[in-house]
Structure 1
Amino acid sequence: MTHEVVGRVEESGAELAALADDNEALGKLSDRTVELLRSAGVIRMLQPKAYGGYEAHPRDFAEAVMAVARHDGAAGWVCGVVGVHPWELAQMDPRLAQEVWGDDPDTWIASPYMPNGIAEPVDGGYVLSGRWPFSSGSDHCRWDFLGALLGNGNGKGRPAQPITVLHVVLPRSDYEIIEGSWDVVGLSGTGSKDVVVDKAFVPSHRAIRQEAVQEGVAAEEFGINDTLYRLPFSSMFPLGITSAVIGICEGALALHLAQQKERVAVTGVQVRDDPYVLYAAGEAAAEVAASRVQLLDGISRLYDKAESGQKITVEDRADVRRNQVRCAWRAVGALDQIFTRSGGNAIRRNNPMQRYWRDAHVGLQHMIHVPGAAYHANALAGMGLELPEPMRVLI
């Protein structure tokens, strides 16, 4: 059954698509695009019901992200990234949820999780400084999740040993968004700008150890037993991003078929009578569909395992990560096959096909789509061998 949020996205799909060029030109989502996304409720899919969310199955969340990305890749990307943050926030101290959503359940939270800052421990919390790139959707968010290394307490900005990574949450008043820091060839409308923090105090209840979220055990500390909030970070965070990439490829495929229907090639033959172009389109459709099915299957299997009380093993997580990476590459590879057969008009700026193509390839640049470490870790896990510590971070 299609989730109601997906239905609302489809109802506004034509307008979302019409706004995509504006978003690209702005270098961020337009206010109207954000209004449509808020109205549809995409960002609240994984949010607790107690704070106006749906607590939806992660499969439904992924399908909602895909639905948005089919119309506008940048909007889909923001939904995939920002939409995961309510899921993590729900696993933290309830005081933080009240601060963020108490007055407005439609408050959005941005992120970059890379540990580009140092959080020096002080009485009652931490003092944080650093600079983080790629804060998607930051112009429309009032809080930001930031990755940070725990400091050693000497006040000199040195990390503690062994290394401990924290996720900390700051209000908009505590960080600066750097204008002009997002000038890119694709996904321009995501507004993934740099943010800077200079000695901001972070109360301890606004911080969480990355390891606890990674292992899916953070929620237990606060008596939260819902299946949704016991899933591993390394499965949930990539889900939104890869869903956006697959949705972009679905949108490109639909546009390709629509444009080729009446196209006449330079040979004078109608493309719909060209078996080579149609073969490529059919094969691409199968590859994109396979990516969608495999991604949804992976997170559904983990959810079912958690719901039945079974332990999600490192091998389970490594399998889902391997497949998630492959889904993205398979879908974009299929897009390449149809783009090269879309004719010269596909490269014109006024043809959305070239934007889909650019957005999809920029989506592959995200670290969660790098195949080497994910495939390597999966092979080791399949052999029953211990993963080296750095390799466990995204597994």
Structure 2
Amino acid sequence: MQIDHDEIMRRAAAISPTLSAHARECDVARKLTAESMAAVVDAGMFRIPQPRRVGGYELSLRTLADAVTSLSEACPSSGWVLMVMGAHHWCMGSFPEAAQDEVFGDGRDGLIAGTLSSQGIANPVEGGFRVEGRWQFCSGVDHADWVILGCANPSTRRASVHVVVPRGDLEVDDTWHVMGLQGTGSKDVLAHNVFVPSNRTIDTRILFRGASPHAANHATNLYRLSAEAMLSVSVATAVLGSAKFALRHFIERTKERRVILTGARKAEHGPTQVRLAEAAAEIRSADLLIHDILSEFDGLMASGATFDNDHRVRAKWQAAYSAELCRRAVARMFSGSGAHAVYTPSALQAAFRNVNVGAQHASIDFDNSAELDARARLGLS
């Protein structure tokens, strides 16, 4: 069977009812249920950005983005885990071939959690590094086989290297007690003097620039993009899915709501209609901004052109602004949903919490991304 964009979207639609049915159970468990994770794995979702040479589909980032958004509409936590772990599967395309073979060889799923920010340290030793420290926000770690960790130089504390470690070599600390996206299981991991051989490492600057020599050894130019920009856009696609979830439920709820004192239909209420129109326009605008950058990614992949700093800055800002538009839209709908929306079972309440937690991700920091974009436009960077 030809695995292409349309086939992936068919599969995403097929598993969405299962994910939706287990969404609240995931939140209660504070990790994806076994049924939800199995549905995503069995549908091949994590293979979308995985190198073809090791059993992946090596499809475009547009396909991964649309799959993440689709699954996030059904279960925000499942979509988020696909987004984060999928980004790590994509990162492996820039690692040495020996690492790709060790993680994915012989048809293994090789599920990879992790944290790309350099929260721990890596001490250079003969044949590799000794890794030490604590990393937060390891989404999906309960279901992972491997973990990617960003590490700093112990002397300068600057980002230096990214490593791939078997999950069994790490300690998982259950710190994930949060207001939203509870089902992502984004717990801490700790490394205690863990040895990582050189063939499972990559220089952080090379990974973040999309400049790995190993990225050229694939059938496509998929891995010649900036990891930093790729992650920013990916995060925004998950937030977009949660916002679309909220929009659908707001429309459904508004159609059936009545004013308690008068019995008038809320759907006939002018201010409610304005809220809906504005929220829908913001979510649509976010979608267009994200797909504008994905088109840019497609063009760079097709041409093999260098992903420069202008591309990086633009991608990060449009991703951050898209997430902010989604946050504003969901806040507007939630505040117009009445007192019953505050109860825990409310879909609007869940969406409000999930979108606000997702929009907190460091890769789409609104202030920093806006400053970078403005400075570039003013010729100050």
Counterpart code for 1:80: M
Greater shift, 222-231 or 52-61, is seen at 222-231
Q: Structure 1 length as normaliser, TM-score?
A: 0.91
Partner of 1:35: 38
SS of alignment partner, residue 79 of structure 2: helix
* Cα distance in 2, alignment partners of residues 323 and 240 from structure 1: 12
* Cα distance in 2, alignment partners of residues 244 and 221 from structure 1: 26
- Aligned residue-pair number: 377
* Cα distance in 2, alignment partners of residues 148 and 159 from structure 1: 12
Partner of 1:232: 226
2:248 is the alignment partner of 1:254: yes
- 1:339 positional shift: 1.0
- 1:113 positional shift: 1.6
Counterpart code for 2:118: P
- 1:173 positional shift: 2.0
* Cα distance in 2, alignment partners of residues 219 and 356 from structure 1: 41
Task: Check the 8 A contact 1:46/1:83 in 2, yes or no.
Answer: yes
* Correspondent of 2:99 among 96, 101, 121: 96
* Cα distance in 2, alignment partners of residues 347 and 221 from structure 1: 48
String of CA shifts for 1:202-245, please: whole Å, max 9, x gaps: 00011111110111111457634722111111211112211110
- 1:280 positional shift: 1.1
* Cα distance in 1, alignment partners of residues 68 and 314 from structure 2: 22
Counterpart code for 1:169: V
Partner of 1:380: 375
Counterpart code for 1:303: D
Task: Check the 8 A contact 1:79/1:240 in 2, yes or no.
Answer: no
- 1:102–1:306 Cα change, 3 Å: closer
Counterpart code for 2:267: R
* Cα distance in 1, alignment partners of residues 240 and 119 from structure 2: 29
Partner of 1:277: 272
* Correspondent of 1:62 among 62, 65, 73: 65
Q: Structure 2 length as normaliser, TM-score?
A: 0.95
* Cα distance in 1, alignment partners of residues 215 and 289 from structure 2: 32
* Cα distance in 2, alignment partners of residues 84 and 319 from structure 1: 19
Task: Check the 8 A contact 1:291/1:327 in 2, yes or no.
Answer: yes
Partner of 1:390: none
* Cα distance in 2, alignment partners of residues 225 and 51 from structure 1: 12
- Structure 1 consecutive aligned stretches of length 4 or more whose deviation exceeds 6 Å: none
Partner of 1:287: 282
Task: Check the 8 A contact 1:231/1:303 in 2, yes or no.
Answer: no
Counterpart code for 2:193: K
String of CA shifts for 1:21-43, please: whole Å, max 9, x gaps: 10000010000000111122221
Task: Check the 8 A contact 1:306/1:312 in 2, yes or no.
Answer: no
* Correspondent of 1:124 among 119, 122, 127: 127
What fraction of aligned residue pairs are identical, expressed as a percent? 31
Partner of 2:332: 337
* Correspondent of 1:139 among 142, 147, 150: 142
- 1:164 positional shift: 4.4
Task: Check the 8 A contact 1:177/1:194 in 2, yes or no.
Answer: yes
- 1:364 positional shift: 1.3
Task: Check the 8 A contact 1:148/1:165 in 2, yes or no.
Answer: yes
* Correspondent of 1:217 among 201, 211, 227: 211
SS of alignment partner, residue 177 of structure 1: strand
* Cα distance in 2, alignment partners of residues 201 and 313 from structure 1: 34
* Cα distance in 1, alignment partners of residues 271 and 115 from structure 2: 43
* Cα distance in 1, alignment partners of residues 49 and 211 from structure 2: 17
* Cα distance in 1, alignment partners of residues 20 and 251 from structure 2: 17
* Correspondent of 1:174 among 152, 169, 194: 169
- 1:317–1:269 Cα change, 3 Å: same
Counterpart code for 1:227: N
Partner of 2:355: 360
* Cα distance in 2, alignment partners of residues 299 and 105 from structure 1: 29
Task: Check the 8 A contact 1:235/1:299 in 2, yes or no.
Answer: no
2:25 is the alignment partner of 1:22: yes
Greater shift, 10-19 or 243-252, is seen at 10-19
* Cα distance in 2, alignment partners of residues 2 and 372 from structure 1: 34
- 1:166 positional shift: 0.9
Task: Check the 8 A contact 2:233/2:316 in 1, yes or no.
Answer: no
* Cα distance in 1, alignment partners of residues 362 and 159 from structure 2: 20
- 1:385 positional shift: 3.3
